[in-house]
Amino acid sequence: MNPARAPVPADVIERLKTAVGSAGYLDDPADIAPYCTSWRDNWVGRVPLVLRPQSTPEVAGIVGICAEAGIGVVPQGGNTGLTGAAQPHEDMSEVILSTSRLKRIRAIDTVNDTITVEAGAILKEIQNAADRADRLFPLSLGAEGSCQIGGNISTNAGGVQVLRYGNMRNLVLGLEVVLPDGSIWNGLRGLRKDNTGYDMKQLFIGAEGTLGIVTAAVLRLFPKPTASETAWIAVESPAAAVALLGLVRARLGDAVSAFELIRRSLIDFLLAGVPGHEDPMRAVHPWYVLMDVTSQGPPGSLHGPLAEALAAAQDSGFIRDALIAASGTQAAKLWKMRESLPEAVISAGGAIPHDISVPLSRIPEFIERADAAVAAAYPGIRHCAFGHVGDGNMHYNPVRPVDWDLPRFRAERERINRIVHDIVAGLGGSISAEHGIGRARLAELEHYKEPAELAMMHAVKRALDPKGIMNPGKVVRA
């Protein structure tokens, strides 16, 4: 895809090693290999060196050397991404810069409700630090035990609480960034309001490391909810789920913190292929909603309002059946089901993933049209859709027909992408709601993005990274 470039020269490698010291790099191919490989979708590359700086000045030193020598830098956090953004190319022309050792929690301010963390801090550890301070850091997603906050920022991560707390972008107040010339920008402000010129941090959020390397951030904290309920609700259709969301939002407002839609097929895949789960309901239903409501106030105080809302939804014909988890344990079991859905899809034989969003009002039409279109093109394809419907975001992952083998199905990836993404584009949607672009969606981005917007992205890339050394070939083509 990119023209092959020359390998990193030996003298540059030596300078980089000197810059970080012997504990700061890996050059044994066996040690390097895990950094070059993605956990899904077979993104593999090769580099001569993985750098593991332990401070922001060390990051700046590395980038300065690479800028001078014109060497590409591939920033990497927890290596949990889904788009090939964190893996290098195969030509040995780049180095990987891992943020794993930049993992300090620098400060927590419970009056300002902020936490200052380094890029390599694990999401779960940030959640825990907030919890110990009686606060909530609301970003929550499947990889939270291993993903790093720098990666979450660089992909503008979403997850299950966006409905209430927004994307990662909404949780970032300030950034420290090593810029493509090796200088350090200290934008670690902990302010809710700051209108002093262009909000530069917004460019680095979601840039997947192509404009600089986020080394630290000031993040927002929230009061820790003290009341919480989880409901498992059977509905007839996506349209019924959307109507239900409108009803519960009108009654419970921002207390509705998560609202996930799950197609029945996924429950079948889960029960057949992943041990330890059981159907929460006796009868079989076509679709389910998993909903969390949380607020301040005494524990249990949301049970009544939630039960009333569900009763009203039943009266309105929006739901077929519903249960409210009787305990934290039962709620955790329901959420464990949700988190196991990607595994269930794999156990069913593999899928062509899509991470799309459309306006919430178009979700029913999207699912109906996409189902019809993929079934027409591939008789026997198995419908599969789940996701954060409260944000208009669905993981629409059709599963191979039972009589097809996986390689044959995988070969259809681009054609299936086009079928699904054409419908998304026609509905004013996004072909990458939360996973980003990396390399996996780059051609699709170029196909669907308006030329004026693509041109602006290129102009910004050239303006901030004129040598094109930051994560080359990701998000924007050089």
**CA 171, CA 154: separation in Å to the nearest integer?**
13
By beta-carbon proximity to a second copy, the closer residue of 25 and 43 is 43
- Of 14, 31, 131, 194, the one binding a second copy (CB under 8 A) is 194
- Any long-range contacts for 396-400 (C-beta under 8 Å, 24+ apart)? 396/354, 396/356, 396/366, 396/367, 396/370, 396/420, 397/345, 397/351, 397/352, 397/353, 397/354, 398/351, 398/352, 398/374, 399/265, 399/269, 399/345, 399/348, 399/349, 399/350, 399/351, 400/349, 400/350, 400/351
CB 154 → a second copy: shortest distance, Å?
10
**Which of 338, 369, 388, 400: binder of a second copy (CB under 8 A)?**
388
User: What residues form DSSP beta bridges with 355?
Assistant: 395, 432
**Contacts to a second copy from residues 440-469, by CB under 8 A:** 441, 445, 448-450, 452-454, 456-457, 459-464
Exactly one of 434, 439, 469, 470 binds a second copy (CB under 8 A); which one?
434
Residue 169 binding a second copy, by CB under 8 A: yes
Q: Is residue 386 within 8 Å of residue 263, measured between CB atoms?
A: yes
Among 75, 77, 392, 473, binds a second copy (CB under 8 A): 392
Place of tokens 């599969």: 384
- The region that residue 322 occupies, defined by phi over 0 for left and psi between -120 and 50 for alpha, beta otherwise, is beta
- Closest to a second copy by CB, 47 vs 262, is 262
Instruction: Identify the CA nearest to 396 among candidates 433, 447, 448.
Output: 433
Q: d(Cα 186, Cα 177) in Å, to the nearest integer? A: 7
Q: Does 170 bind a second copy (CB under 8 A)?
A: yes
Residue 255 interacting with a second copy (CB under 8 A): yes
- 3-state class of 301 per DSSP? coil
Residues present in the chain in total: 478
Residue 156 sits in the site that holds a second copy (CB under 8 A): yes
Q: Per-residue x/- mask for a second copy, residues 280 to 319, rule CB under 8 A? A: ---------------xxx-------x--------------
429 binds a second copy (CB under 8 A): yes
Q: How many residues of this chain bind a second copy (CB under 8 A)? A: 95
Q: What's the distance, CA 271 to chain centroid? A: 26
Q: Which is nearer to a second copy, 203 or 344 (CB)?
A: 203
Strand order in the sheet with 227-235: 321-324, 227-235, 287-295, 256-263, 385-387, 393-396, 355-357
Segment near a second copy (CB under 8 A); pick from 119-127, 274-282, 367-375, 425-433: 425-433
**Is residue 225 near a second copy by the rule CB under 8 A?**
yes
Half-sphere exposure of 283 (CA within 13 A, CB side): 12
472 touching a second copy, by CB under 8 A:
no
Q: How far is the CB of 287 from a second copy (least distance, A)?
A: 17
Contact between 142 and a second copy by CB under 8 A: the answer reads no
Q: Is 107 in the site for a second copy (CB under 8 A)?
A: no
Which is nearer to a second copy, 48 or 81 (by Cβ)? 81
Binding flag, residue 30, a second copy (CB under 8 A) = no
Per CB under 8 A, the list member of 300, 332, 361, 402 interacting with a second copy is 361
Nearer to a second copy, 14 or 254 (CB): 254
Q: Is 217 helix (H, G, I), strand (E, B) or coil?
A: strand
